[in-house]
Structure 1
Amino acid sequence: MHKTLAILAIVTAMPLAAQSAAPQLPGQQDASRITGGTYRADPSHSLIEWEVNHFGFNDYFGLFGDVAGTLTLDPKNPAGAKVDMTIPVSKVVTASTGLTEHLLRAGKDGGKPDFFGPSPADARFVSNHIVVDGNEAEIHGNLTLNGVTKPVTLAAEFVGAGANPMNKKETVGFHGEATIKRSDFAITTALPMVSDEVSIDVTVAFEKA
């Protein structure tokens, strides 16, 4: 009986022991790990997802990758941070080859493209005012897309900071969300069958320069 109880005690304790032995993730949601200076976006681990509603049936997603840009931080003045991001619209991808081609194809008979066209300029977001509340912030700035510049507010959350174990660089990561109207940026094809509202989901890792 005593032997059985001992075995049960060991088995019960195993998950706790395994949990305590698990290695700590390099990135932690700890602002004290952030040092001041300029950080550059890691294009291999930064993505911008966009989402539209299609015909009222379902939502459809696409991605912009290879995001570039800088983040300037001062831990003593987080509201004074500066963000300048560049998004290569020409590298947009979707789950459908045909749709991706449609987004980037030239206009019919020399007319205006339905969406971005074959040689779209990079989009750019530049902050002008940041309101910080703990690990969250409202990043107010200007988004330039399709040759049009409009104010956009990004709801951002600090995810983690630490040293990247692969390259030893100081890294900070953020997640953000925003909603824009594509008609504000002169992208009006298929309205309202394809929604005017576009949900934007941003995940960016910044490495200290």
Structure 2
Amino acid sequence: MKKIIALLIAAGVSLTAFAAPENFTSDEHHTFSSFSYSHFGYSTQQSRFNNTKAKITLDRAAKTGSVDAVIDAKSVDTGSKLFDQHIQGEDFLDTAKFPTITFKSTKFNFTGDQPSSVEGNLTIKGITKPVTLKITHFQCMDHPMAKKLACGVNATTTIKRTEFNAGKYAPHVGDDVTLSFAVEAIKD
């Protein structure tokens, strides 16, 4: 009987260890955020931010987690230095006053064993709005080079830029902006 109890306790301890939250830090070389919008209906313009950092906590057994992400708004990359400066101006991101864009999660949603979306608060130009990031890809496995657990995710959401006081030229330049995130994070 003592052996059975000892085995049950050992099993409970190992199950608890398995269910423990895991902390991850984004890999700066494989983590980017981007945005796209309609330009007068002629084309969908695509640009990115070259500096996005995230701290992630994930408990896959409990189906919970958290994300705290910071985007360096001054790292905007449109492919044109002149347009980068234009986007950083007061009419759009106003990076002199608001150098970062942040996302702080409030809830993880799972479909089966996989996270399917993350709800949270997006702050641009000091204005915070709730958004839901739809996860389009999620994968965790041992990283072959880092020799640690790593997780990768792609997620998107669409916002109205006028709601963040960045609506110059709307509606001619599209008010709807699709934000996309490609994150690879390595376990701490």
TM, length-normalised to structure 2: 0.83
> Corresponding residue for 1:117?
94
The AA in structure 2 aligned to 1:129 is K
* Structure 1 unpaired stretches of 5+: 1-32, 106-112
Alignment partners' CA distance in 1, 2:77 and 2:94: 14
The AA in structure 1 aligned to 2:105 is S
Q: C-alpha root-mean-square deviation of aligned residues, in Å?
A: 1.9
| Residue of 67, 71, 74 corresponding to 1:83 | 67
The AA in structure 2 aligned to 1:175 is N
The AA in structure 1 aligned to 2:151 is V
Q: Which moved more, 1:119-128 or 1:51-60?
A: 119-128
> Corresponding residue for 1:169?
148
After TM superposition, the structure 1 = structure 2 runs for residues 176-191 of structure 1, keeping only pairs within 5 Å, are 176-191=155-170
Alignment partners' CA distance in 1, 2:180 and 2:19: 23
Mapped contact 1:142–1:152 kept (Cα < 8 A): yes
The AA in structure 1 aligned to 2:61 is K
Mapped contact 2:93–2:124 kept (Cα < 8 A): no
**Aligned pair 1:150/2:150, yes or no?**
no
Alignment partners' CA distance in 2, 1:170 and 1:41: 12
**Structure in which a larger fraction of residues adopt helix:** 1
Note the alpha carbon deviations across 1:48-78, whole angstroms, 9 max, x for none.
1100100111110110122112111112112
> Corresponding residue for 1:26?
none
Q: Tell me the SS of whatever aligns to 2:162.
A: helix
Alignment partners' CA distance in 2, 1:182 and 1:85: 19
Alignment partners' CA distance in 2, 1:153 and 1:71: 16
Mapped contact 1:154–1:177 kept (Cα < 8 A): yes
Give the superposition deviation at 1:154.
Answer: 0.5
Alignment partners' CA distance in 2, 1:44 and 1:181: 29
* Structure 2 unpaired stretches of 5+: 1-17
Which runs of structure 1 show a deviation greater than 3 angstroms over 4 or more consecutive aligned residues?
33-36
Give the superposition deviation at 1:191.
Answer: 1.0
Residues 70 and 118 of structure 1: CA distance in aligned 2, closer, same or farther (over 3 Å): closer
**Aligned pair 1:131/2:98, yes or no?**
no
Alignment partners' CA distance in 2, 1:66 and 1:53: 24
Note the alpha carbon deviations across 1:6-61, whole angstroms, 9 max, x for none.
xxxxxxxxxxxxxxxxxxxxxxxxxxx99841111112101111001001111101
After TM superposition, the structure 1 = structure 2 runs for residues 69-108 of structure 1, keeping only pairs within 5 Å, are 69-78=54-63, 80-105=64-89
The AA in structure 1 aligned to 2:107 is H
**Aligned pair 1:60/2:60, yes or no?**
no
Higher alpha-carbon Rg: 1
**Structure in which a larger fraction of residues adopt strand:** 2
Q: Tell me the SS of whatever aligns to 2:57.
A: strand
Residues 35 and 92 of structure 1: CA distance in aligned 2, closer, same or farther (over 3 Å): farther
Mapped contact 1:175–1:202 kept (Cα < 8 A): yes
Give the superposition deviation at 1:144.
Answer: 0.7
Give the superposition deviation at 1:158.
Answer: 4.3
TM, length-normalised to structure 1: 0.75
Note the alpha carbon deviations across 1:73-106, whole angstroms, 9 max, x for none.
112112x21111111111110122221121124x
Mapped contact 2:92–2:165 kept (Cα < 8 A): no
Residues 165 and 35 of structure 1: CA distance in aligned 2, closer, same or farther (over 3 Å): farther
Percent sequence identity over matched residues?
A: 28
The AA in structure 2 aligned to 1:121 is P
